[in-house]
């Protein structure tokens, strides 16, 4: 793999999208224009259709955890083969708002699915495609809830199917992320995301900068 693959993870309202955009801007300013920014689920035409089904469709309230896991990884499999692998093979920097750790945290720990089963599905979806760095944005549960409420108010949109889960679900998700971070401390680097966006962004930049190739 010639390129650099950085993923962003965390519970709802942790600031992933904001921080990914800030990192992309820093990369461009530092002379790295060949950056591909993606999101999960989604990122491809097929993935966006799956995203709508998994998160926003009004007909999927009864979706089982197993179905949710398979849908998320169907989107992921397409994203890896259509965009991520070709970009990395071409030496590009790829940023992704969520990747396979989300399945471990949300469908494994959150939904209570067998973790080996979850890992097997992920392995089938991504093969050998692994992030070089995963930024885990940590925020307390009350901050997460406040940010999510503010986001809904600003956008005037209803929460999606996953955002509608209760506090216990998100506590399990947060515990899942901590377990992931403890198991792979070299890849998964936690960042306190409660501060101002630019302050958080500076901490992330300090993690990414040593991994960058020489700017063209």
Tens of each residue's pLDDT in the chain, 216 residues = 689 999 999 999 899 999 999 999 999 999 999 999 999 999 999 999 999 999 999 898 899 999 999 999 999 999 999 999 999 999 999 999 999 999 999 999 999 999 999 999 999 999 999 999 999 999 987 776 676 666 666 665 667 889 889 889 999 999 999 999 999 999 999 999 999 999 999 999 999 999 998 765
- Domains of the chain are 4-211 (3.40.50.300)
CB atoms within 10 A of CB 134: 23
pLDDT at site 141: 77
Measured CA to CA, the distance from residue 160 to residue 55 in angstroms comes to 5
pLDDT at site 66: 98
**Whether the predicted model's global pTM rises above the 0.85 cut:** yes
* 3-class DSSP state of 198: helix
CB 45 within 8 A of CB 134: no
pLDDT at site 185: 97
Helices (H), 41-136: 45-51, 65-79, 85-89, 100-102, 115-126
């Amino acid at each position: 793999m010639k390129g650099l693959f950085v993923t962003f993870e965390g519970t709802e309202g942790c600031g992933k999208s904001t921080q990914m955009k800030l990192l992309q801007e820093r990369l461009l300013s530092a002379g790295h224009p060949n950056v591909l920014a993606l999101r999960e689920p989604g990122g491809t035409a097929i993935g966006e259709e799956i995203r709508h089904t998994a998160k926003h469709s009004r007909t999927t309230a009864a979706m089982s955890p197993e179905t949710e896991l398979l849908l998320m990884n169907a989107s992921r499999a397409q994203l890896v083969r259509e965009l991520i692998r070709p970009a990395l093979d071409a030496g590009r920097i790829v940023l992704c708002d969520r990747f396979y750790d989300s399945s471990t945290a949300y469908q494994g720990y959150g939904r209570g699915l067998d973790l080996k089963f979850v890992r097997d599905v992920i392995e089938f979806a991504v093969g050998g495609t692994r992030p070089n760095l995963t930024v885990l944005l940590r925020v307390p549960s009350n901050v997460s809830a406040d940010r999510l409420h503010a986001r809904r108010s600003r956008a005037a949109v209803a929460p999606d199917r996953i955002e509608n889960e209760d506090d216990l679900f998100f506590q399990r998700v947060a515990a899942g992320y901590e377990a992931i971070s403890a198991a792979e401390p070299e890849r998964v680097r936690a960042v306190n995301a409660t501060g101002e966006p630019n302050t958080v962004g500076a901490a992330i930049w300090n993690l990414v900068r040593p991994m960058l190739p020489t700017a063209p």
